[in-house]
A = this chain, B = another copy of it.
Amino acid sequence: MAELYLALLHHPVYDKHRAVVTTAVTNLDVHDIARVARTFDVRGYFVCTPVPTLRRLVDRIIRHWEVGPGAAYNPTRKAALALVRQVPALDDALAEIERDTGCLPFVVATTARDAPGRLTHAMLRQRVSAAGPPVLLVFGTGWGLTDELIARCDAVLEPIRGVGEYNHLPVRAAVAIVLDRIRHGR
């Protein structure tokens, strides 16, 4: 099976006016997505932000659960947070994956916008289930990854459709659904 990695980008992403911004790292994105990643056998979860202060903040949170009072209070959290790696940008994640596995990953962008040529979840599942280079799934915060960043990726995953027109899943929910679909079917 191909190794599976996640990246959560805080830059470059859009805000609601389609300006390119850097979003704040939130504690919950780190925790929730780490637990989901651990559940579905993800090898590494890259939290990408160019802001050094926010990386230091996340380091402190992780240390609390890894070696601080939290490690005894909730060891399952420690196991999840061990997957988290902080890097300034997507390129740093690519370099770390290459160091881990010996090859650059196949990079799959995610977006809530549909368009022709999207990779289906079934196709992604097949790729991850077969032998091959590692796969990196890239999620955006704010109002989503910029077009320029998406254009740099190897493929774009089809959006998750709900039942009606409402199309505003939290990124935490999107990660959970995509990983469940990749690992368990459809």
Residues of A within 8 A of B (CB): 16, 28, 31-32, 35-36, 38-41, 74, 76-77, 79-80, 160-164, 166-170, 172-177, 180-181, 183-186
Closest to A76 in B: B168
The 6 residue pairs across chains A and B that have the minimum distance between CB atoms: A39-B162, A41-B163, A173-B176, A76-B168, A177-B180, A176-B176
The verdict on A35 contacting B74 (CB below 8 Å), with A180-B177, A186-B186 known, is no
Q: Chain B residues near A32: list those with CB within 8 A.
A: 170, 172-173
A161 to B74, CA, bound (A): 20
Chain copies in the assembled complex:
2
Instruction: Write out the residue numbers on chain B whose beta carbons fall within 8 Å of the beta carbon of A169.
Output: 35-36, 39, 176
Chain B residue at smallest Cβ distance from A164 = B41
Give the chain B neighbours of A177 by CB distance below 8 A: 176-177, 180
